[in-house]
Homo-oligomer: A and B are copies of this chain.
Amino acid sequence: MKKKKAYNVAVIGVGVVGQMMLRILKERNFPIKNLRVFARSARQIQVDGISYDVQVISPEGFEGVDIALFAGTEGEKGASVTFAGEAVKRGAIVIDNGADFRMDPDVPLVVPEVNPKDAKKYRKKGIIANPNCSTIQMVVALWPIHKVVKIKRVVVSSYQAASGAGRGTVEQLFKETKEILDAGCRMPALPAGRQEAGRIEPESCILNHESKILPKQIAFNVLPHIGSFGESDYTSEEWKMVRETHKIMHSDKIKISATTVRVPVRTGHAEAIYIETKKDFSLDQLRELLKNSAGIELIDDPKNNLYPLPIEAEDKDAVFVGRIRKDPYVKNAFWLWVVSDNLRKGAALNAVQIAELLIAKK
């Protein structure tokens, strides 16, 4: 890519990820000459007090664009399927947060802390794919470990926030939560010592919605279903954590198996990651390594009740790692508790970091 003082940038999509991209481009002072914002319909939006004119997306709109950041669409084919080719034809490099191109062998899948050099391999299609949110935070934590002691195996269970499924899902979470509070659902048994007749029916914590975005109620519930069910009864989200990790880390030898679960959290995915490594490692070595690794912030002081939490990760850039432990029975096996803002490092920030790789001087 030809280096310039400033670039013509397009952001496609103004949902939670698109808006976060606008915020992060500003925060990081990305050198922008001209910014275009595209969506299906024209409107004006404000993000952090700044006004943006949203134009209707069209092939011609990409004329003169250097970098096109596609925010991606949850659960359906993204705008990139229709428009990435049009943007590339007109000279843009596309960075796509959607899932459509991630496993294309001609499209690099990049996490800057892990495989920055892959970003240079975009020429065949002109597209660089941004990985899935749950994959990104996992590989940021795994990569420094893999480089030193080789990871043989990963068993991971996730605790994923509503915003990972878009704005509508966050709205579903808050709407359901409010309805349940309004319905008076409180205690699982009568409060002790009160003279109330009858019992509070637990059914009042269950809602019957007509239209939902998630397949089931998310308020006061956990939902072992993200994406759609596929091969071997794993969900698409679970397969993403396997296959995207293999591609990013350039190793399909790592045995990865995942259970992904939606939890009633606004933003911030958590993952309980169990790994087996080829070589041994002391916990002190592991902590020292992670503390000094790119993109990671270590919060691992259980004696003082310090460990990563979704509410504290929200609106932060880092991948937070804590609760580091050895399996008491199995050699070279460890737990990590990994939390990150799924809209930032899990989506918009990672995409902007890829753009930064493209414009880097060296």
Q: Which residues of A contact B (CB under 8 A)?
A: 14-16, 18-20, 23, 39, 43-49, 153, 155, 157, 159, 163, 167, 170-171, 174, 177-178, 181, 185-199, 202, 205-206, 215-217, 220-225, 229, 232-235, 242, 255-257, 259, 261, 263-267, 270, 272, 274, 302-303, 305, 307-312, 314-315, 322-330, 333, 335, 337, 343
Q: Would A193 and B155 count as touching, CB distance under 8 A?
A: no
- Bound-state CA distance A23–B229 (Å) is 39
List, in ascending order, chain B residues with CB within 8 A of A44's CB.
Answer: 195
- Bound-state CA distance A86–B302 (Å) is 38
Residue of B nearest to A39 (CB): B192
Q: Would B46 and A255 count as touching, CB distance under 8 A?
A: no
Q: Would B329 and A188 count as touching, CB distance under 8 A?
A: no
- Bound-state CA distance A39–B264 (Å) is 35
29 contacts between A and B (CB under 8 A): A19-B189, A19-B192, A20-B189, A44-B195, A45-B190, A45-B192, A45-B193, A49-B199, A153-B330, A155-B274, A157-B157, A163-B188, A177-B181, A185-B266, A202-B314, A216-B309, A217-B311, A220-B311, A221-B311, A222-B309, A224-B270, A224-B272, A225-B302, A233-B323, A235-B302, A256-B329, A257-B274, A257-B329, A263-B263
Check A43/B193 contact, CB under 8 A, given A307-B224, A335-B257. Answer: yes
Check A221/B16 contact, CB under 8 A, given A188-B343, A234-B325, A311-B206. Answer: no
List, in ascending order, chain B residues with CB within 8 A of A199's CB.
Answer: 23, 47-49
Nearest-neighbour CB distance to chain B for A29, whole angstroms, equals 18
- Bound-state CA distance A100–B14 (Å) is 55
Q: Would B343 and A311 count as touching, CB distance under 8 A?
A: no
List, in ascending order, chain B residues with CB within 8 A of A255's CB.
Answer: 327, 329-330
Most chain B CB inside 10 Å of its own CB: which residue of A16, A224, A261:
A224
Nearest-neighbour CB distance to chain B for A214, whole angstroms, equals 10
